[in-house]
Amino acid sequence: MAEMKMYLDDDRSWRGRTISVRPARWYASVRLERDGYVDTLTARDEDPSLAAGFAEAAERFNDQATTRIWYDGYPGSFLSSTGARGVTLYTPFTYMESAREALRMAELHHDYAALHSLSDELALPLDDWLRPGERELVRGTDFSPPPTVFLSFLRGQASRRGLRLNGRAEAGSVWVRPTVPALQKRIREALPERYPGWVDQWTGHIDPGGTIWRPWVGGREQDLSRGAVPIGFHDAPVPSIGRCPCGFSLASGRSDTEHPSRHAQWAFGIRVPKNLEFPLALAVVTAQSPIAWRRLAGRTGRLPQRESGYDFNSWSHDIGEPEETPERFRAYLLQADEHVVGYLAAHDTDRHRWWDLVKGSAYDQPDGTRRPSIDMIWVADTYRRHGVGGTLLQALADDSGCEITDVSWSHPVTKAGQHLARRISPGGIWVS
């Protein structure tokens, strides 16, 4: 079935209003298009908004009709779009024609009676299905879709109303017992303005004539919670952490799926990509290395950058072609458990000063020896206090043909860096 379009005005150009009916797989959308009409009225300084009561009637129709479409088995959702520029009704196919006519009456004659009476016709007996008590609803008498479809629909509707549906689909019926969870009851009673008219009919409901026999098959949560004492809730001060130690800002309102993966990298390091051969514990990556290695160094470098909130990544050679740098930029990556857990970025420079860690003095006279200078040293959180920093420093010294005490530290030296430096070289360190 193709789209059908009806013109509401004599003007059949873009300025005129139209109603189109577009069939989808589970339902049809009936769309009143007012776009050009609104522009024309606005240009004439006239009010283009929908007449009073129109939006309300359309929304009421959609509430009932979309519930009905879900009942028929549609698993998806709907976009709500009712405004001056157009009104969309979602309707079961059997109501397509009447919905179009009701929409035409509403727009041309400001008559919403047809919309309202369709809403009444479409309404399902949800209050009855979800009233308290255990009972069997029979297909063909109480409902028409297949029992499993109906049960899943009813569960969704129950949870929209804060109810929990204990239920089971049989061959030609469903057994249901709606209850209200204590938390939902408390929320609704505490916020009457959000749930006007809500009355708890479910708590303490006793089925007339005692318990109905109900054909449970297999172990279900239902049986294991029968007669259980409800959970008690208390208010308590909740810790508020503005910023996680990994550097993620918890107050920023960013997606909370992002934090766990970042936090895991901070705690366990960056996973070594499958396509990289990393046969020994330590890799020396330079600005001349293959791009996959330079990228791995760059990804690892981002972890201390985030943790300490630095503006720049200490490894910036993760783009472009291999290049020879006079300062010999390099990154030492230490691998454990198939992750890069230790990272040291360094380059050579010949401007240093001696910093006496005993006297804590200001920096001494300049030194012009060419030395390796540490731009960043970082260890994944889980691997800290296991000597990884010392291993990285030793690798840098060995690779640079000098002693550990000869290496220089980029200013400013972090607390963790100072701690490491003091252990390695208690008298003092070179800074650059």
Q: Which stretch binds Zn ion (CB under 5 A): 79-87, 103-111, 171-179, 260-268?
A: 260-268
Q: Which stretch binds Zn ion (CB under 5 A): 43-51, 55-63, 185-193, 261-269?
A: 261-269
Q: Which is nearer to Zn ion, 247 or 298 (CB)?
A: 247
DSSP code, position 291: H
Q: Which is nearer to Zn ion, 248 or 383 (CB)?
A: 248
Q: At closest approach, how far in Å is the CB of 250 from Zn ion? A: 8
Among 74, 248, 329, 383, binds Zn ion (CB under 5 A): 248
Structure tokens at 2: 């193709």
Q: At closest approach, how far in Å is the CB of 39 from Zn ion? A: 50
Structure tokens at 201: 């009919």
Q: Is 263 in the site for Zn ion (CB under 5 A)?
A: yes
Is residue 109 helix, strand or coil? helix
Instruction: Name the β-bridge partners of 157.
Output: none
Kind and range of the H or E element at 366?
Answer: strand 366-367
Q: At closest approach, how far in Å is the CB of 344 from Zn ion? A: 23
| Burial (CB count within 10 angstroms: exposed 0-12, middle 13-18, buried 19+), residue 313 | buried
Task: Kindly give the residue spans of alpha helices, DSSP state H, lying in 110-165.
Answer: 113-122, 126-129, 147-160
φ/ψ of 288, rounded to 5, equals: -100, 5
Q: Which is nearer to Zn ion, 130 or 246 (CB)?
A: 246
32 touches 22 (CB < 8 A) = no
Q: Which is nearer to Zn ion, 167 or 247 (CB)?
A: 247
Q: Which residue in the block uniquely carries the two structure tokens 């193709």? A: 2
Q: Is 267 in the site for Zn ion (CB under 5 A)?
A: no
Which residue type is seen at 261? S
Is residue 84 helix, strand or coil? coil
Q: Which is nearer to Zn ion, 246 or 402 (CB)?
A: 246
Q: Is 307 in the site for Zn ion (CB under 5 A)?
A: no
Longest distance between any two alpha carbons in the chain, whole Å: 97
Among 169, 244, 291, 416, binds Zn ion (CB under 5 A): 244
Q: Is 246 in the site for Zn ion (CB under 5 A)?
A: yes
Q: Which stretch binds Zn ion (CB under 5 A): 34-42, 180-188, 242-250, 340-348?
A: 242-250
Q: Which is nearer to Zn ion, 170 or 381 (CB)?
A: 381
The count of other CB atoms within 10 Å of the CB of residue 354 is: 17
Q: Is 382 in the site for Zn ion (CB under 5 A)?
A: no
Kindly list the residues in this chain that would bind Zn ion in the complex (CB under 5 A).
Answer: 244, 246, 248, 263
